[in-house]
Structure 1
Amino acid sequence: MSWIEHIREVKSLNLFKQFIKSLYSPRDIASFRFQGIGKSILYVFLLCLLSIVPASVYGSIVISGGIAAAEKASTSLPDFTIQNGQLTAETDKPVEMKQGDIILVLDPTGTFTRNEIEQKQNAIGILKDEFVFATNGISQVLPYSGAGDIAVNKDQLVSLAQQAGDLQAAFIGGFVFILYLISSFSKFVEVTVLALLGLIIRNMLRKKISFKQSWVMAAYAVTLATIFFTVMSALQASVPSQGLVLWFVHVVILYLAVKEVPSKKEPEVIV
């Protein structure tokens, strides 16, 4: 099949079929370069939506479990107060408990660090000078110093958790929405940087590819690594040097796709 016939064939592919082909076929990724930029942008948005599913599920579990754990603190944790940027409690050692899939740590001694809370995967840490909320090994940190002179004790925290329980669905919805926005922004930056690298690859291989075509190809070239790390996230499996692996796969896929582009100039076929 000639390149022109192949390009006309991919014109009829929907996004799902493009997704499948992007997992294994650099030649098809190369043929996608003539399609409109709008379809490629939509593809990236849908890819981001798919990629946040594991984090959304685990995050929702942590939020639900965190609210339940905070409510349980009324009977299981010693009295504590957060004031002037420091945690004080009626205990001389850290207290750790498990509520469902969530680990709750109260540590007025400074023994636990932010990294140790992250290593527990899904955990809430009320530490000596900061509040740490970890979801799937990724933490959000709130230093107590940001609250100024406001004092918070155990009863107030439990009362706040009980009120949050009534708005649990809204909290989860907001969490997923923010996660999607962050993921989409990061992915578009990722694709744009990869497209710029695609221009360097173009010059190395002496191919005739515009930046728009490089961007479209980059949008599909990120599919394999994105899905791989989505699966790893779902399995809660860590990958050593994740960033390096991610970009290595991105660049290799784009390189193979650019290599598939014929050297001679072709008429554009807009999809």
Structure 2
Amino acid sequence: MNVISFSERTLACMSLFNQFIKSSSSPKHIALFRFQGIGKTISYLFFLSFIMSIPAFWAAAAYVIAGTDATRKAIEELMPLLSIAQGQSQNEVILVAAGLFFYYVLISFTLFFKATVFGGLALIAVSLLKKRAEYRHLFRMAAYSLTLPALLTTLIQLTGLTFSFAYLIDWLLIAFILILSIRFLPGAPK
């Protein structure tokens, strides 16, 4: 008989925004999110992709509305596809929309790839830490472990700052959060 606790039922009904808040600050909740359905986890990754796309949407809006040289340069640095649009004002809005769509798809693919890779790496961590979990649980935990690094990346993009080892820091932060979450998993049977 499979008994679901009150906290697991509560997590199943939690909105994407509440999951975002909980997973950005609580490794314990990330561990509990392993009980989410895969559809809810996939929806969450698309939601996270949207959050990460906000700097590009913001820059594109400034590009279309203002159209100044400074905003054009900023958006072309963020989305090189738009360099094709120079001198073709009637097609620029379409190109911006297409660029934003492909940017969103690229971010979504990147997040799914990271969740897949970190889910696999978490299998090693689980065996080393003598915890119990299947890959499907670890994929879900990895997906929610992406939240804080994604939020930090988005905020950094909005401020216009750049770092030399940003990707390395991003991957190390994801690994750190995932390891903290794995600590809340039940121990492996002896």
Range into which the TM-score falls when normalised by the shorter chain: 0.7 to 0.9
**Residue in 2 aligned with 1:17?**
18
Question: 5+ residue gaps in structure 2?
Answer: none
TM-superposed CA distance for 1:10, in Å, is 1.8
Identify, as 1 or 2, the structure richer in helix. Answer: 2
TM-superposed CA distance for 1:167, in Å, is 2.7
Return 4-13 or 189-198, whichever deviates more: 4-13
- TM-score normalised by length of structure 2: 0.86
**Which of 118, 133, 138 is 1:209 aligned to?**
133
In the alignment, is residue 231 of structure 1 matched against residue 151 of structure 2?
A: no
Instruction: Report the RMSD for the aligned CA atoms in angstroms.
Output: 2.7
Residues 198, 214 of structure 1: 8 Å contact kept: yes
Residues 45, 184 of structure 1: 8 Å contact kept: yes
**Which of 136, 159, 181 is 1:257 aligned to?**
181
Determine the C-alpha separation between the residues in 2 that align with 1:100 and 1:11.
Answer: 45
Per-residue CA shift, 1:176-206, capped at 9, x if unaligned?
1111111111111111001111111111111
Identify, as 1 or 2, the structure richer in strand. Answer: 1
Residues 60, 172 of structure 1: 8 Å contact kept: no
| Higher RCO, 1 vs 2 (CA within 8 Å, ≥6 residues apart) | 2
**Residue in 2 aligned with 1:95?**
none
Return 7-16 or 204-213, whichever deviates more: 7-16
User: Aligned pairs, how many?
Assistant: 186
Distance 1:207 1:100, change over 3 A: closer
In the alignment, is residue 34 of structure 1 matched against residue 35 of structure 2?
A: yes
Distance 1:102 1:177, change over 3 A: closer
The residue type paired with residue 21 of structure 1 is K
- TM-score normalised by length of structure 1: 0.62
Determine the C-alpha separation between the residues in 1 that align with 2:109 and 2:151.
Answer: 17
Query: 1:1-271 alignment to 2 at 5 Å?
Result: 4-62=5-63, 99-102=69-72, 122=74, 134-136=76-78, 139=80, 161=87, 164-263=88-187
Residues 64, 168 of structure 1: 8 Å contact kept: no
TM-superposed CA distance for 1:239, in Å, is 2.5
Distance 1:224 1:166, change over 3 A: same
Question: 5+ residue gaps in structure 1?
Answer: 70-98, 104-121, 124-133, 143-156, 266-271
Aligned-pair identity (%): 27
